Amino acid sequence: MAESPSQTATYPPFDMVILGASGFTGKYVVREALKFLNAPSSPLRSLALAGRSPARLSSALEWAAQPGPPPSEIAILTADATDPESLGRLCSQTKVILNCVGPFRFYGEPVVAACVEIGCDYLDICGEPEFMERMEAKYHAKAVETGSLVISACGFDSIPAELGFTFNSRQWTEPAVVNRVEAYLSLESQKRIIGNFGTYESAVHGVANVDKLQELRRSRPRRSRPTIPGPPPHGPTIENQKKVGLWAVKLPSADPAVVRRTLSMLADNPQGIPGVREGLQQCEKRQAFWSTVKPAHFGLKIGSKSMLGFLRMITVGIFIGALGGTAIGRWLLLKFPSVFSLGWFKKKGPSEEEVRSASFKMWFIGQGYSNGELAMERNATPDTEIMTRVTGPEIGYLTTSIILVQCGLTLLSQRDNLPKGGTFPPGIVFGPTDLQERLQKNGISFDVISKISLPVE
């Protein structure tokens, strides 16, 4: 498979390029994308794989195509995240890049810069708030100008949180209003759970750069805050959540920050962001969708059914928090991930069998008021609870690949209905689309579990 010649950005030869396709996650993204290449009703008609090593890319393609031979029409392109010239050539050959090369704080910006300069669209699986917010600060205006959509967190971070929150919020029909939504994540497996090393690596560096994130936020204009009925919640950091059978602790993930960014943009744009060439019918659909979404306080906790598993989570969190702030501590954490994660993360990643046996459940417990007027009362206590749930396969490789590919397909098939360009969280862009329905057809379920009245003290 020879490298395809560069063509103009106006008529790129490829619908989609997967950058970092030979990595642990990248090869699963390739396998997922192959299901839709030239499939009936699929917008994906041409696909290329990109990375530093053509030999490794070819090997990843062969793995992803099993048990059959790899499709002959897929091109192998050489590109390096540290080589801006190669990235420029890459961006000129495609409509959208799916970036799987992390940690994004080290390797992501040159790819974003190239996409914004050329005007092609960019999706990634980043779960690093500092990177996402820094890209917004540096490239949003240019991306609007060139028509490049830059959307991070299009994997397990943070689509289940974004769409899960929205799904719960939309269950609150007038006159009911929601005040808070707390998400509880449970990772399950018939065997042992082995996490994505890239996630672990990003968490370690996230601890090291927490001051930079706070400095970035202080340097930028204050975001708009949505109006949320009722007083702010003051929940515990650690709890025994009996409703879902979990011992749970607050998870310092990107999800709450990403959801808050979407709600902030919605505060400034109550009807959402218009599509670049949307028609009247789509305009009405977008406005109707966002009219049913109600802002609320959002938090996320990770939990375990057993006290032993819960204590294990706490221990790993202490290790990362205590050691991640120093250079020698980070070296130890990254050199011996299996030791400091108590076996949850390994550099070589999980086996195929371990990936297939894993799954997740994410409960969303929304609490609010049966009537909005109740929220105006002094010391108002929620009297209504709605519980929803998102479930799916293993998060780091399977769910992330499903989500990223479906985001790419949604972008290809509905580009006229999406914003012209800019850097956005996924919820504000994909909320009014059929992304949730696409995910449900591909193994990620959204369900209403219960609607109950709460005792009022």
244 plus 387 within the same structural domain: yes
**DSSP tally for the chain: helices H, then strands E:** 18, 14
Domain that holds residue 306: 159-394+434-453
Residue 405 maps to a domain: no
How many domains is the chain partitioned into structurally?
2
192 shares its domain with 66 = no
Residue 209 is predicted with a pLDDT of 85
Task: Give the Cα separation of 81 and 45 in Å (integer).
Answer: 25
Q: What is the pLDDT of residue 9?
A: 40
State the Cα–Cα distance between residues 104 and 7, nearest whole angstrom: 28
Please indicate, yes or no, if residue 416 is contained in any of the structural domains.
Answer: no
DSSP state of 122: E
3-state DSSP call for residue 95? Answer: strand
- Is the same domain home to 307 and 439? yes
Bridge partner residues of 247 (DSSP): 240, 304
Indicate whether 7 belongs to any domain.
no
Q: For 270, phi and psi rounded to 5 degrees?
A: -60, -25
Q: Specify whether 122 is located in the same domain as 196.
A: no
Q: What is the pLDDT of residue 44?
A: 97
What pTM, to 2 d.p., does this model score? 0.95
Instruction: With residue 451 as reference, give the H or E element that holds it.
Output: strand 445-453
Distances, alpha carbon 262 to alpha carbons 161, 163, 314, 360, 427, in Å:
11, 11, 30, 24, 6
Pair 334, 209 in one domain: yes
Question: Domain check: are 81 and 173 in the same one?
Answer: no
pLDDT score recorded for residue 457: 66
Asked if 111 and 214 sit in the same domain, the reply is no
Is residue 98 in some structural domain?
yes
Smallest CA-to-CA distance from 179 within 405, 426, 379, 428 is with 379
Q: Is 298 in the same domain as 323?
A: yes
> Looking up tokens 């990634």, which residue turns up?
124
Which residue, among 55, 50, 93, 46, has the nearest Cα to 74 in the 3D structure?
Answer: 46
Burial, 227: exposed, middle or buried (Cβ in 10 Å; 0-12, 13-18, 19+)? exposed
Q: Identify each DSSP E strand in 37-124 by its residue range.
A: 47-51, 75-78, 94-99, 121-124
* 63 within a domain of the structure (yes/no): yes
State whether 146 and 163 are in the same domain.
no
Do 138 and 164 lie in one domain? The reply is no
CA distances to 41, 126, 207, 209, 212 from 202, in Å: 37, 9, 9, 10, 14
Q: 349: left (phi > 0), else alpha (psi -120 to 50), else beta?
A: left
Q: Which of 95, 130, 151 is the last residue of a domain?
A: 151
pLDDT averaged over consecutive 10-residue blocks of the chain (457 residues)?
Answer: 42 93 96 97 97 96 95 94 94 97 94 98 96 97 98 97 98 96 95 82 87 93 94 90 95 94 97 96 97 97 92 92 92 93 87 94 97 86 97 97 98 97 98 98 98 88
And the tokens for 377? Answer: 């009362």
Which CATH number covers residue 85?
Answer: 3.40.50.720
Compute the distance between CA of residue 224 and CA of residue 45 in angstroms, rounded to an integer: 41
With helix as H, strand as E and coil as C, how does 262-278 read? HHHHHHHCCCCCCCCCC
Q: How far apart are CA 44 and CA 408, in angstroms?
A: 9
Which of 151, 185, 208 lies at the terminal end of a domain, its last residue?
151
DSSP code of residue 45: -
Per-residue pLDDT at 346: 87
Distance from C-alpha of 405 to C-alpha of 98, rounded to nearest angstrom? 8
Shared-domain flag, residues 303 and 209:
yes
Evaluate whether 425 touches 273 at the Cβ level (below 8 Å).
no
- 41 and 128, same domain (yes or no): yes
Q: Which of 93, 116, 151 is the last residue of a domain?
A: 151
Within 8 A by CB and 6+ apart from 28, the residues are 64, 397, 398, 400, 401
User: Does a structural domain hold residue 164?
Assistant: yes
Residue 368 lies in a domain: yes
What are the start-end ranges of the H helices in 253-367? 255-268, 280-291, 307-323, 327-335, 337-340, 352-357
Q: Does residue 411 form part of some domain?
A: no
392 Cβ contact partners less than 8 Å away, ≥ 6 residues apart:
160, 359, 360, 398, 399, 402, 439, 443, 444, 445
Is residue 251 classed as helix, strand or coil in its secondary structure? coil
Rg of the chain in Å (alpha carbons): 22
Q: Which two tokens stand for residue 289?
A: 């969708």
3-class DSSP state for residue 386? Answer: strand
